[in-house]
Amino acid sequence: MARTALVTGGSRGIGAAISKALKAEGYNVAATYAGNDEAATAFTAETGIATYKWNVADYDESAAGIAKVEAEVGPIDIVVANAGITRDAPFHKMTPEQWHQVIDTNLTGVFNTVHPVWPGMRERKFGRVIVISSINGQKGQFAQVNYAATKAGDLGIVKSLAQEGARAGITANAICPGYIATEMVMAIPEKVRDSIVAGIPAGRLGEPEEIARCVTFLASEDSGFINGSTISANGAQFFV
Ligand code: NDP
């Protein structure tokens, strides 16, 4: 029987490419989103992938949503914690609200997404936890103290989960994309974006499908010994 994969933020951007790639590999896929009903409806019409709306920052909503997905689609064996936001500001201007919004969504959201599926993975002795971190969690970024903290935190989460899940057949890994051509990046002013591209040895932004490829690799049955790792997919944009 096909395994079931849950992709948070799976109706747009990188998440949409991940949902589609997992479906193409034969998984049953459920994609979540926060509030953009129009994009989610269009995504389901295009792909046939079921979408579910809940806020990953809310534990009870996440647990209830996950229970619904498991009842309607199947027990979740692969969870991709992809939903994320930015609220950029230089540190001296960053408000506590901007800090908490990003922490609640990008970091607590990973806990809220993985914690409800973890007992089932342990019982079934199989699981794949894949967290979408960021190059900016590895190197830090001007005006992203909040975002970089969450993305660095993701790496701590997967390294710890990897140790806890290894004997139960569960792996936990992170992917650190560089700059990928999604709405999040296209919203950056063009002049700033041009200077970002100039700093990427590949000379271009990445494509969402290139991140999706990393996910299908980590999700596969054959990837069971890859555990606690970070895949950097950034066009050779190295950092110290
Ligand atoms: P997008 O803004 O294109 O899409 C974000 C998705 O997450 C949407 O589906 C959105 O739902 C959902 N989402 C946002 N907040 C919540 C929430 N509170 N609860 C549930 N769902 C939520 O983002 P990207 O595709 O660009 O980014 C995806 C991930 O990749 C993020 O974690 C990001 O940090 C990371 N990343 C992106 C990079 C890039 O260059 N784009 C680079 C490195 C990492 P809705 O459609 O309803 O708004």
**Domains of the chain listed by start with CATH number:** 2-230 (3.40.50.720)
Cβ–ligand 1 contact at 105 (below 6 Å)? yes
| 147 included as an active-site residue | yes
User: 208 to each of 5, 168, 211, 230, how far by Cα in Å?
Assistant: 18, 31, 5, 17
Q: Judging by DSSP bridges, how do beta strands 50-53 and 76-81 pair with one another? A: unpaired
Task: Note the pLDDT of residue 187.
Answer: 87
pLDDT per residue as tens digits for the range 138-195:
999 999 999 999 999 999 999 999 999 999 999 999 999 999 999 888 888 999 999 9
The number of the ligand 1 atom at minimal distance from the alpha carbon of 34 is 47
Task: Note the pLDDT of residue 238.
Answer: 80
Cβ–ligand 1 contact at 57 (below 6 Å)? yes
Task: Note the pLDDT of residue 240.
Answer: 52
- Per DSSP, which regions of 19-166 are E strands? 28-33, 50-53, 76-81, 127-132
User: 107 to each of 61, 86, 217, 240, how far by Cα in Å?
Assistant: 16, 12, 24, 24
Q: Judging by DSSP bridges, how do beta strands 50-53 and 28-33 pair with one another? A: parallel
Cβ–ligand 1 contact at 38 (below 6 Å)? no
Task: Note the pLDDT of residue 185.
Answer: 87
State in Å: Cα 226 to ligand 1 middle: 25
Per cent of the chain over pLDDT 90 is: 95
Cβ–ligand 1 contact at 34 (below 6 Å)? yes
Four-residue CA torsion sign, 77, 117, 172, 58: positive
Cβ–ligand 1 contact at 163 (below 6 Å)? no
Q: Rounded mean pLDDT of 103-114?
A: 98
Average pLDDT over the chain, rounded to an integer: 97
Q: Which of 33, 183, 210, 211 to mutate to test the pocket of ligand 1 (most atoms within 8 A of CB)?
A: 33
Catalytic residue of the set 27, 33, 52, 147:
147
